[in-house]
Amino acid sequence: MTAVDRFYHCGFALVDGVFLEQVRLRVVGGEIAEVAVGVSPRPGDTPLGVVVPGFVNAHSHAFHRELRGRTHADGGDFWQWRHRMYRTAARLTPDSYRDLAARVFAEMRDAGYTAVGEFHYVHHDRNGEPYPGHAMELALADAAASAGIRLALLDTCYLRGGVGQPLGAEQRRFGDADVHRWLARWHALRDTLAGSGRGLVTLGAAIHSVRAVSRDDLAVIADGLPADVPVHAHVSEQPAENQACLDSHGLTPVGLLSAHGLLSPRFSAVHATHLTPDDIRLLGEAGATIVMCPTTEADLGDGIGPAPELLAAGACLAIGSDQHVVIDPWEELGRLELDQRLRCRRRGIFTPEALWGAGTAGGHRSLGLPRVRRQSPGLVVGEPFDAMEIDPATSRTRGAHLRQLPLVARAADVTATIVGGRLTRPRR
């Protein structure tokens, strides 16, 4: 069947980092085929207002959404929160996870996310036995299809309960016995997804953290994954993680990952909150991506990572909603700037263009999304038409310069999301 041309007329659109007026887009097969600027709408065009690229959620744990508003009454720290998270994970089945993830992904879509990287480690049943046919992974893929959002499934290696410790009973369903079985399952999952016809789904990989694998495992993972596959890991989220790594290996988590060849442009360090100057240098020299999750890092009391230093060293920035205490990319971007103002005690840490880039180009790079080549935020010919419409005249956005919207807009200001040319209005 021949793809049908569809036309969208935007009052304003972000193109190559610049807001342009009266932009008409020709979309074929879900991709932008032509961008015409300064032209009037024609009969049959779909009218849109202010259109910007869709944001990318580069770090998500969908099931953590169940903890929202349920963990704050008794105080506690990250580790106490983690035990509550384990109890939530224990209740998941393929069917319940599909339903839960579909709701979470739809919430993301309505907030302006058009792609998500799901850091997925709930692989097996409660006894640690594999589900037939990758049931948990396909549940997430089906949930993304239901919501109409791109999914980079970051299948995660999780083999230990801590440095030198076996998995605990509450972690049993996360593990694959050893790194070779994880790799075998990863490759089998790739074959299953490739033949499934799920066009919005790609497969990446993740290492839960240096706590969750051995030193020898890191070398096997580096050698066993295809060179073009994105690799993510939680890195230095807590000082206790750093100390355990230093005590066991004499290296920081970043140093350990670097020693085993895992730092490269395909690598994403999630959080990267408690880094040494040498860690920052290594991540920058590798051209790695740093996935900041400001609302989660604030909620868990993790701290504020050295984002401007990482950017200056050569790393790339992206954002994630992680545990979904908030699902709002605008909130993440606003906090990315404002938290650094508190840390550095000055204004203007990032330019508006840098914030747009962290929400879009940085996330695409982190997830290795195919056919997305943009280095600056904007709609580009030859790439998927993944975008959102934002209302510039709400009580929050009225009077703001369009380029500064990341500092004032919120998810409630998103009036439409487009993924692969498919337009959806938020359900609020």
Q: Residue 21 phi/psi, 5° resolution?
A: -100, 150
Q: How far apart are CA 91 and CA 58, in angstroms?
A: 25
Other Cβ atoms closer than 10 A to 199: 10
Residue 318 · residue 358 · CB < 8 Å: yes
CB 368 within 8 A of CB 228: yes
**Known catalytic membership, residue 83:** no
Q: Does the annotation count 271 as an active-site position?
A: yes
Active-site residue (options: 155, 322, 328, 339): 322
Considering the candidates 61, 120, 123, 271, report the single residue annotated as catalytic: 271
> 360 CB contacts (<8 Å, ≥6 apart)?
53, 54, 55, 56, 374, 377
Q: Which whole-number Å values give the CA distances from 255 to 88, 260, 275, in the listed order? A: 33, 9, 10
Structure tokens belonging to residue 424? 């959806």
Give Cα 14 to chain centroid, integer Å: 22
Among all chains, which residue has been given the structure tokens 């097969």? Answer: 29
Residue 411 corresponds to which tokens in the numbers above? 């998810």
CB count, 10 Å around CB of 186? 22
Task: Tell me if residue 328 falls in helix, strand or coil.
Answer: coil
- Contact assessment for residue 130 and residue 93, using Cβ atoms and an 8 Å cutoff: no
For 268, the enclosing helix (H) or strand (E) is strand 267-271
**Could you give the CA distance from residue 46 to residue 142 in angstroms, rounded to a whole number?**
28
Quick one: residue 133, left, alpha or beta (phi over 0 = left, psi -120 to 50 = alpha)?
left
In terms of Cβ atoms closer than 10 Å to its own Cβ (0-12, 13-18, 19+), residue 133 is exposed
Collect all residues with Cβ–Cβ distance below 8 Å to 382 and sequence separation of at least 6. 31, 32, 33, 371, 373
> What single string gives the DSSP state of each residue in 3-60?
PPEEEEEEEEEEETTEEEEEEEEEEETTEEEEEEES----TTPEEEEEEEEPEEEEEE
Return the active site residues: 271, 322
